[in-house]
Amino acid sequence: MFKFISKKIIKNYNDYNNPKVREQYGMLCSIVSIACNIVLVIFKLTMGAITHSIAIQADGLNNLSDVGSNLASLFGFKLANRHPDSEHPYGHGRIEYVAGLIIAFLILLVGFQALKDSIFKIIAPEKVTFTIVAVVILIVSILIKLWMAMFNRTVSKNINSATLMAASQDSLNDVMATSATLISLILSLYTDLPVDGIMGAVVSIIVLKAGIDIFKDTVDPLLGMAPDKELINEIEEYILSYPEALGIHDLMMHDYGPGRKFLTLHVEVDCNDNIMAVHDAMDLIERSMLEKYHILTTIHMDPVDTNDALTNELKQVVLGVVKGINKEYSIHDFRIVTGPTHTNLIFDVMIPSNDEIKHKVLKEEINTKLRAINPNYYTVMQIEHSFI
């Protein structure tokens, strides 16, 4: 069904990294979801009023919030693809994340309202009227929501959209909520307990949890979460496949929305190579990164002397000391300045972003271990935290 719809509506439907194609997929999913949810809202609110079921009405209100969420998603995909302007030179891609925040707030609002109504129903319960029509509508609703969840999940994986993944998860939450409503309707035949209010409360809690999860998923990229480790490893492997690239460090990636990533990094190159040839290779890497990963890349070249035996020897000594303290530590920009009485070891130490060691303590430990090897070693070091 997914491929059939995609082929009929979206041109170049397999080009998932194309911003235009992403926009069309996002709008398609949003429009399909809006249509399905409007049908469910009408049915559930009508049957909830007829059967006096607060659980069915809460479920219907949840679908109404889904319509608002789908509208936010629709406009988010449309606006996110707007061309950069003077006030937003990096584009408008983060609007997609803002749309996710709106979805989260709408879900939380409906969840709180439904929970309040459910508590009142537990305190002052009303008789629920069981009808076969209501049961059929709830079962159909479950099937529709399952299809919507699979549809949105498939698209979200293809175009790497957190917003559509949230929509998919929201549909799965609706399946659980509607199932609880169906159970309460059946149980009303066998007990006078306020099952409807209790199940309505359960539904509301599920809705609230979904809102909190979606809120977290959309806030993280806005705050600047770490890039995907698999992607970073693939990028590093790709860049190091070029013979001119001897090492990589100080890699930083900025996310301005899906398909709008900016990457800066330092690449170590041989200082003895022809500078024009090396620059040409770095320029080629930047162009290839844009074509291959749709990432705008800026490379800073760090020249290193690979032919100096003493520099290479002392680099391994320092690396052994640093790795001995923590195997996740690394060094870069290593060089030496020798003199008649001592040798200056100049380098940067890279430590994980979550490492809380005090820089002064780490420097003292490295100095102590190096002085134990040779008292004439003096260090000039900078401690840096990784951004990946």
Same domain as 255, residue 191: no
Number of domains, the chain: 3
Cα–Cα dist 215/62, whole Å: 16
CATH label of the domain that carries residue 370? 3.30.70.1350
Q: Where are the alpha helices (DSSP H) in 160-293?
A: 162-187, 195-223, 229-240, 275-293
Among the candidates 264, 289, 304, a domain finishes at 304
Same domain as 61, residue 105: yes
Same domain as 199, residue 64: yes
* Lowest-confidence region among 186-190, 244-248, 339-343, 383-387: 186-190
Same domain as 91, residue 27: yes
190 three-state secondary structure: coil
Same domain as 299, residue 270: yes
With left for phi above 0 and alpha for psi between -120 and 50, is residue 41 left, alpha or beta? alpha
Q: Which of the four pLDDT bands, split at 50, 70 and 90, describes residue 101?
A: confident
Average pLDDT over residues 78-93: 79
pLDDT of 105 higher than 70: yes
Same domain as 344, residue 376: yes
Among the candidates 263, 287, 304, a domain finishes at 304
Same domain as 161, residue 20: yes
Terminus-to-terminus CA distance in the chain, angstroms? 38
User: What is the longest distance spanned by two Cα atoms in the chain?
Assistant: 97
Percent of the chain residues past pLDDT 70, beyond the cut: 95
Same domain as 281, residue 186: no
pLDDT of 254 higher than 70: yes
pLDDT of 258 higher than 70: no
Q: Residue 324 phi/psi, 5° resolution?
A: -65, -30
Give every CB contact of residue 363 below 8 A, 6+ residues apart in sequence: 379, 381, 383
pLDDT of 1 higher than 80: no
Domain with 67, as residue range(s), is 1-223
Same domain as 366, residue 269: no
66 three-state secondary structure: helix
User: How much is the pLDDT for 198?
Assistant: 83
Average pLDDT over residues 164-180: 78
Average pLDDT over residues 277-298: 92
Among the candidates 194, 223, 252, a domain finishes at 223
Token pair 């199932």 is found at 179
